[in-house]
Structure 1
Amino acid sequence: MTQLENKHCVPCEGTAAPMASEELQRQLSSLPEWTLVDDSGTSKLVRVFTFKDFQSALDFTNRVGQLAEAEGHHPALLTEWGKVTVSWWTHAIGGIHLNDVIMATKTEKLV
């Protein structure tokens, strides 16, 4: 996981292919709390983070937002009392790119 947390997102054009299934499964082995979700045909990396209260969840949401802005790659975030659901995927390709795995890895470090 250390190698990915030091990488940065690269611009991804719509012509890039989603990450191959075997490579994705290999990468997910270092992100055991993340799940691969099929959302109407679009693969996404999803994790629910739990917190003691709403303010802690909101603070985490803001840290993820700052990371997303710095990397130029943005997740779907659902902030609720005591939890935040983070979903990473690459809109341009309708699936998961290495950028999403990089961002999931970096998101882990924000807790």
Structure 2
Amino acid sequence: MAQLLSENDIQTQLNELSDWTQEGKFIKCTRKFKGFPEAVEFVNKLVEPAENAGHHPDLEISYNTVIIKMTSHDAGGLTEKDFNLARTISAIN
């Protein structure tokens, strides 16, 4: 099981990820697209990196908006795995 990050470590990593915020035991990113097809296309691009990492985000699609939330459920909070995948997701257009 991955080790939980300290609040200081979480804030340090969030400072490097301008599009992510913390909500309790989750980090969250909201992405907006031209329309629904573009939002779904973006979500489809998340499948391979998530599978490769063995770590899967919680996803919410509402027309042109995708909300991505991550936590390490097995560890009970935020771990390095969440931030590694967040960096990968942030690089996906």
Question: What residue is the counterpart of 1:94 in the other structure?
Answer: 76
In structure 2, what is the Cα distance between the partners aligned to 1:107 and 1:35? Answer: 14
Matches of residues 5-84 of structure 1 in structure 2 within 5 Å?
Answer: 13=1, 16-38=2-24, 43-84=25-66
Aligned mates of 2:76, 2:6 — CA distance in 1:
13
User: In 2, Cα distance between the equivalents of 1:52 and 1:80?
Assistant: 12
> TM-score if structure 1 supplies the norm length?
0.80
- Return the alpha-carbon distance in structure 1 between the equivalents of residues 76 and 47 of structure 2: 21
Distance 1:101 1:32 in 2: 12
CA distance in 2, matches of 1:34, 1:44: 10
Structure 1 residue runs of 4 or more that deviate by more than 6 Å after TM superposition: none
Counterpart residue type for residue 94 of structure 1: G
Tell me the C-alpha RMSD between the 2 structures: 1.0
What is the CA–CA distance in structure 2 between the aligned matches of 1:54 and 1:47, rounded to whole Å? 17
Output the CA distance in 2 between the equivalents of 1:94 and 1:56: 33
* Count of aligned positions: 93
**Identity over aligned pairs, percent:** 28
CA distance in 1: counterparts of 2:31 and 2:10, whole angstroms: 21
- 2:68 match: secondary structure: strand
Gaps of 5+ in 2: none
Separation in 2 of the partners of 1:17 and 1:68? 19
Q: What 5-or-longer segments of structure 1 have no aligned partner? A: 1-12
